[in-house]
Structure formats: structure tokens, C-alpha cells
Structure 1
């Protein structure tokens, strides 16, 4: 199977693992060592970007209070069940801290304090999504799950990641394949 890096996974309705029910995951790495991704459509309840910044030493204890509401109130995604205390930022390709992993020309992944400071105080990427935790698959595991009809693959769409409201991302990912929840079958078409 060719690399799925930079593509979305969309959970099938009969996903056995409830942690991934109705999930849309961006694959940020995929190769012989396995795969890694971030859930991009499940917010952590009662946690905002300002809460994360409050926990960090930014040098100025009042800095977070002075941030505009749109930055303070930015959602935090539940990126996955692995490394749940670690932050990851998916962002537009215009930002590169030197610690940025370039997924495609359009999108990068940065997991250092630099990106959080840039998001809060600038210069920030044009678009960014912050997640705690990630998803991981051992070698061959993701391929097996796809073959077993656990996931659909969807080509990368910048608007799906950054523009579509979080609660609509699952349906919009399906719509990009001309599928709706009502027409999505849980039976594989091997026959």
C-alpha cells in the first residue's frame, strides 16, 4: 500500500473501538515503522487554548489574559489515545520553526513550545489546529484495519481541516466521497 501520509481516515459506522467512533483522522506519518495520525473532529470538553497556555511558563503571567478572545477560546482537539499529555499542532505550510515536520506543501506538524507561542503572540501560521494526544498504528496494523473495512480514506482538503466547523467534519469528509451516513454501508463489497 502506498503511503497515506497527508490523507484523512474516516471511521466506518461499525468501528469496534469507541474511542474512534465517527472520527476523522489526518495521517501525519505512514511508512514501514507504522503510522501516526491526529483526530481532527473531536474537541476536548471544557478545555480551551488559553487553559493550555496558562499551564506553560510564557515569561509573563498576564500574557494569556491579554489575548484576544478568538485565540483564548480556540478549541483543543482530542488527538488520540496515545501520549495524551503531549501537544501537537497541525498548521498551514507558511509556518516553519525548524522543528516542523512537513507533511505536504500545504500542511506541517510542530510539537514544540515555539508554535504555541507563535499561535498566541505571533507570527502565527495562517491556520492551525491544536491537539492533545495522537493515534498510532504498528507496522501493517492500519493497512489491516482498512482492508477489514474499518476506515475510508479521503484525500487531503485544507478546508476540511481548517474551515469546516468541527461538528461537521465527519459528514463533510463523507460528502467529499459522495457518501452520506444514510448511504454508508458497513458491509465490504468483496464478492
Structure 2
């Protein structure tokens, strides 16, 4: 009998298929931070909220007026779990109190990265989310088998050099797929 190691999707993008019914994930592009036998964790990277970094800093430090530049820094809805908790995906040239290295990328969950970005001394490239997406053991694999998602290699240009509304289509295009040509009936023949 042949045994094979499961293929995990850490450091890849997940593309929601057009027929994705879950409103938390319809039309989303998710970066997979961790995926192993215990489950998976990811951050939705194409769903900006009404909030900006200035709003967050006002909550963290009500006595200080945040720099005007922070009003231009969007905050993304990273997923439906712990929506009050911040996660910053960023370029890996600097590290903070709670930073994890991810193959040319870093993830920081401590507030010092937000203060550094506000002060203009943070990472060169960053994307800030509130909340994350989580899957139990085997759940993401089952959803992939059910054609809920496509996965593709991570591309920093998609994450950091494109407007949020272009990211999903660009990730699909990297696989040679035009999502608008896929109908919601896919996989139901």
C-alpha cells in the first residue's frame, strides 16, 4: 500500500470559486499562513473595511492624534475569527515583538508594528487585517476536494503591488483561469 504525505498549502493563495456560498469567503483571496495536520489558518487579503490605520491607533492611544498618513492605510477583514485582533503581513526586512517568518514574508501580531508603520519606520510593504480564517483538521482538504477553492503559488506582487479588487483575478490568471468565465454551476454536472 502506498502512503503519501499530504500536500499542505502553507504560503499559497486560496482563490474562492465563484459558487462559494459562505458570505465570509465569497469572492475572496486568502493567504495561507499555516496548514498542517491540525488545520489551517489564513488571512483574506482582498476585503478592505471602512477602517484605516488611524482609526486603530485612536483606539490604541486615545490621547494621541495619529499621523495623517495613517488615514490612507486600509485595514482588511482577514476572516471571521477574532475580528478584534490584528495581523500584519509584511516584507521581512524588519522584525517586531511577535513576528513569525514566512518564506520571504513576515507575520506580526504585536502592536509595535502598527506604531512603526504610523511613524514611517515600519516594513517597506505591509497589509493589515483584523481577524483571520481558520479551518479544523481536514476541513480545508475537504473543501478543496469539493471544489470550493483553487490554490496557487504566493506572489508578493499580487499582495503588495495591486489594488485589493485586482488581487483575486490576478491570482486566478496566474493559473490561466478567468474567474468570470466559471459559472456557479461548476462541479454540479
Decide: shared fold, TM above 0.5: yes
After TM superposition, the score normalised by the length of structure 2 is 0.90
Aligned-pair CA distance for 1:124? 0.8
Aligned-pair CA distance for 1:189? 10
Aligned-pair CA distance for 1:98? 4.4
Q: Which residue of 2 aligns with 1:90?
A: 89
Q: Which residue of 1 aligns with 2:3?
A: none
Count of residue correspondences? 183
Counterparts in 2 of 1:103-114, with a 5 A limit? Answer: 103-104=102-103, 106-114=104-112
Aligned-pair CA distance for 1:75? 0.8
* Residue 39 (structure 2) aligned to one of 34, 42, 45: 34
Q: Which runs of 5+ in 1 are unaligned?
A: none
Measured against aligned partners, the alpha-carbon deviations of 1:62-120 in whole angstroms (never above 9, x if no partner) come to 3x1xx243x3221110100000110110001112124211121x211101011111111
Q: Which residue of 1 aligns with 2:151?
A: 153
Aligned-pair CA distance for 1:14? 0.6
Q: Which residue of 1 aligns with 2:19?
A: 14
State the Cα RMSD in Å.
Answer: 1.8
* Residue 28 (structure 2) aligned to one of 1, 17, 23: 23
**Is 1:48 equivalent to 2:47 in the alignment?**
no
* Residue 162 (structure 1) aligned to one of 160, 163, 173: 160
Q: Which residue of 2 aligns with 1:141?
A: 139
Q: Which residue of 2 aligns with 1:5?
A: 10
4+ residue stretches of structure 1 with deviation over 3 A? none
114-123 vs 5-14, greater mean Cα deviation: 114-123
Q: Which runs of 5+ in 2 are unaligned?
A: 1-5
